Amino acid sequence: MTAFPTYDAAAIAALNNQANAILKLFAARGYVREEPAILQPADIFLDRSGEEIRRRTFTLTDPSGRELCLRPDLTIPICRHAVETNAKFPARLCYNGLAFRHQPGEPNRPTQFFQAGAELLGLEDRAAGETEILSLTIEALRACGLSDFSLRIGDLSLFGALVDALALPAQWRSRLKRHFWRAGYVESLLYWLGHGDGAPKLPGTRTEIEALLDRQGDAPAAGRTREEIIARAMDRAAEAAALRLDPGLADAIAKLLDISGPAEESLARIRALLKTAGIALEPQLAAAESRLAALKALGVERMQFTAHFGRNMEYYTGLVFELWARDKEGPVQVAGGGRYDSLMEMLGAGRPVSAIGCAIRTERVLAARAAGGG
Amino acid sequence: MLTLAIPSKGRLKDNCNAWFAERGVILEQTAGARGYRASIAGLPELDVMLLSAGEIAAALLAGDIHLGITGEDLLREEAPELAGRMHLVKPLGFGFADVVVAVSQYWVDVASMADLDDVCAAYAVRHRRRLRVATKYPQLTRSFFAQARIADYRIVPSAGATEGAPAAGTAEVIVDITTTGATLRDNGLKLLEDGVILKSQAQLAASLTAEWDSEARATARTLLARLDTGAPLYAALAEQLPK
């Protein structure tokens, strides 16, 4: 592998053939091709994905001082364009092009790679949308001539629903959801909730907090309203009093996060665990199970469900998935995607828009085929 | 030739000269070259340059100079991973300053990094953009926030007077350097209780990527022995240098 690859004639032809096969399939399913600019305003990525993405993004400043970047993905420019042009929903959009990522600490990994992907925006029937995108991804890999791959899925909404079912203060629920993907940290939060001795005591009445605020003289509001601060200070004081989770329940959740294995078996274990803990999450479980049935019908044999599988910085909110194959060096992720229901609104859509998409790493698909995965 | 860069102005320069003088080492500013060169009696193979503190950090990282005196904050900002690139020869006991996370005193509900994490997340949802952190230390900020498990923020580079950013409305939070905290307080800001990113002071540092020929090594051995007779400074440096 090299950071700055040069493609020879054979590689270009092979990549183009693959891309054409994928784009032909996308077009047949009603996905319209778009090509966003390679150079993008850095703001849209930093504001949506957070500072972490900067470590992996090539940013530059234009002569007028505006901060630009080489697109680290194509999903955000495509969604932003859909928002700006008031796209009609449901919208089915697709692309094939280069994305650019700095690879910290790995000087020999390519900093640019081809991605072919599809975005399904504004389809209200969530289950149908998820099945559509999962099938599309699997069929696209097959259209490239790759048949030997496995699927890894997770569902952020399952954990979200579980946390919402707990008798915990709102801030703690949001904290648990936010840190869902940090292996180890959520478990330590849960342990603390179940076994700790509660948070420090704070002044909690509105009068006390207002008096405290009035004493701050000329200190700047710094982007937050007085009401915003009072509300959070009161919540924080209230949560200190309410903060206690049945240790059995906390342990059950930690155990649930540990579940990983063949998909059917994993879901059965989650179902059993929730039943014992007395938490009802029937709609979420039923959705996960029917998704599994649909995938089985597509002939995907190797499916893993990992309860703590979610991905940082890539704005996912529900289903997440990765497809894995092998190249000559070992396992390699050839495609991935998921649901990102909050992104369109963050980009200015004015209301939440159901959204789900996938991206295929075509160079890796090529390498996996070359290694005999065809 | 061994090159040593020392600060060219301000309190850091005065403290530096005093520190050398206490050890009986007198810096003689060379005439000509507009006073940006100096020498030390008895060390003809040593070239002393006067540079700004920021330039010294960058020059050490680039391997353009062998030794330099500058703030640890600048060194760690310039090279987040010191290993293999720089060796801290000796902390000098002056130029003390802390790099800290500070928020408005008006944020009475925020005392810790965990509070800031909650506020960052709520801010992103409410305002549809990330909370802004103004700083001259983007690298230190990024790694400290990552350790504190905060993701929902973005850095806005600050060229000067960072402490004024929250009042000016160009950022909500700052990461800045402070010695007594007075400047922060004057601007209505407070330090978070677990918000100290780095306790910094002036350091004598060596570049590990500079050209260390035998003459440079010999001169460094003599210089370091004169600067601290009690400690095996050169031996510790030599261990880090390529054989």
Domain containing residue A112: CATH number: 3.30.930.10
pLDDT of residue A150: 94
Query: Going along B1-151, which residue ranges are E strands?
Result: 2-7, 27-29, 37-40, 46-51, 67-71, 86-91, 97-104, 131-135
Taking only the tens place, the pLDDT of each residue in B138-147 is 989 988 998 8
DSSP 3-state of B115: helix
**Looking at the complex, does the CB of residue B155 fall below 8 Å from at least one CB of chain A?**
yes
| A41, A151, A334, B19 from B11: Cα distances, Å | 41, 62, 57, 12
Query: Is A56 in CB contact (< 8 Å) with chain B?
Result: no
Q: What is the pLDDT of residue A310?
A: 67
Q: Are residues A92 and A224 in the same domain?
A: no
Would you state the pLDDT for residue A312? 52
**Is there a single domain that holds both residue A122 and residue A228?**
no
Residue A220: which of B119, B122, B166 has the nearest Cβ? B166
**B83 vs A: CB within 8 A:** no
Q: Determine whether the interchain pair B151/A223 forms a contact, defined as Cβ–Cβ distance below 8 Å.
A: no
In tens digits, chain A (374 residues) has pLDDT values of 677 889 999 999 999 999 999 999 999 999 999 999 999 999 888 777 667 677 788 988 888 888 899 999 999 999 999 999 999 999 999 999 999 998 877 778 889 999 999 999 999 998 899 999 999 999 999 999 999 999 999 888 888 888 888 878 787 888 888 777 666 677 777 877 777 655 555 567 888 888 888 888 789 999 999 999 998 888 877 776 666 778 788 888 888 888 889 999 999 999 998 888 888 888 888 888 888 888 888 888 889 998 877 645 457 888 999 999 999 999 999 999 999 998 898 888 989 999 999 999 999 999 999 998 76
Return the domain boundaries, chain B. 2-95+202-240, 97-200
For the residues B112-141, what does the mean pLDDT come to? 90
Q: Are residues A14 and A143 in the same domain?
A: yes
- Measured between beta carbons, the chain B residues lying within 8 angstroms of A345 are 128
CATH placement of domain B97-200: 3.40.190.10
Query: Domain check: are A34 and A93 in the same one?
Result: yes
Q: Which amino acid is at A313?
A: M
In this complex, do A216 and B142 lie within 8 Å of one another by their Cβ atoms? no
**Looking at the domain assignment, is residue A143 inside a domain?**
yes
First-to-last alpha carbon distance for chain A, in angstroms, is 21
Q: Answer yes or no: do A305 and A238 share one domain.
A: no
pLDDT value for A236: 77
Say yes or no for a CB contact (<8 Å) between A219 and B109.
no
**CATH fold for domain B2-95+202-240:** D-Maltodextrin-Binding Protein; domain 2 (3.40.190)
More confident residue, B10 or A145: A145
Is B106 near chain A, with CB under 8 Å?
yes
* A212 and A346 within one domain: no
Does residue B119 belong to the interface with chain A, where contact is any CB pair within 8 Å?
A: yes
A257, part of any domain: no
Number of A:B CB contacts under 8 A? Answer: 102
Residue A221: which of B104, B117, B118 has the nearest Cβ?
A: B104
Q: Are the Cβ atoms of A216 and B166 closer than 8 angstroms? A: no
Angstrom CA distances, B7 to A5, A342, B26, B160, stand at 43, 50, 15, 19
Same fold, B2-95+202-240 and B97-200: yes
When divided into structural domains, chain A yields a total of 2
If one compares B160 and A113, the residue with the highest pLDDT of the two is A113
Same domain, A34 and A133: yes
- A222: nearest CB among B107, B122, B128: B107
Please indicate, yes or no, if residue A345 is contained in any of the structural domains.
Answer: yes
- Residue A196: predicted pLDDT: 62
**Residue A350: which domain range?**
9-157+301-373
Q: Is residue A288 part of a domain?
A: no
Domain identity same for A150 and A228: no
Give chain B positions within 8 Å (CB) of A221.
104, 106
pTM of this prediction? 0.72
Top-confidence residue, B80 or A36: A36
pLDDT computed for residue A176 by the predictor: 84
**Chain A residue at shortest CA distance from B107:** A229
